[in-house]
Amino acid sequence: MRVLGIDPGTIITGYGVIEYTASGLSLIDYGIIKSGGRDPFPERLKRVYEGLNWVFEKHKPDHVAVEKVFYGKSVKAAIKIGEGRGVAILCAALAGLPLSEYSPTVIKKSVVGVGSAQKRQVQEMVKVILNLPKPPEPFDSSDALAIAICHCHRRKIDDLINR
């Protein structure tokens, strides 16, 4: 199973693609989709849409996992992140792929073991879990990989329960 994790944003969207097999998790790719913070907002959303479609076409994921937004630095920031999430959800729907959403706390618990973990801790655990030589950077991409890892862990638990 190939999983695409998405850390949504309208200036920077992180993505991470991992493979989940019987032998474990392995990294396929990660990166960011970046638009100019001064670009008109519709152009930023278009850039996220085009970038995610490129990732979908290149890596052909089987599942998509996205971070839920439950707060922002401000109402305005939360709304913009929500609009970025909407683009990610639309891309998954247009590709006909199942989508799962996880809160930041659930993601951190799944990857680090603590729901209040800091970004650097998440980044280090992603490195360990995927057996990488160095932590993936920037945080947006390591967060996206953590989202994909969380999804795989949840699927593994669901598979065990449903046996």
Catalytic residues: 7, 67, 140
Cβ proximity of 57 and 29 under 8 Å: no
Question: Cis ω on the peptide bond leading into residue 8 (within 30° of 0)?
Answer: no
Cβ proximity of 55 and 30 under 8 Å: no
Where are any strands of DSSP class E within the chain? 2-7, 12-21, 24-34, 63-67, 99-102
Backbone φ and ψ for 101, nearest 5 degrees, come out as -125, 140
Neighbours of 101 (CB within 10 A): 16
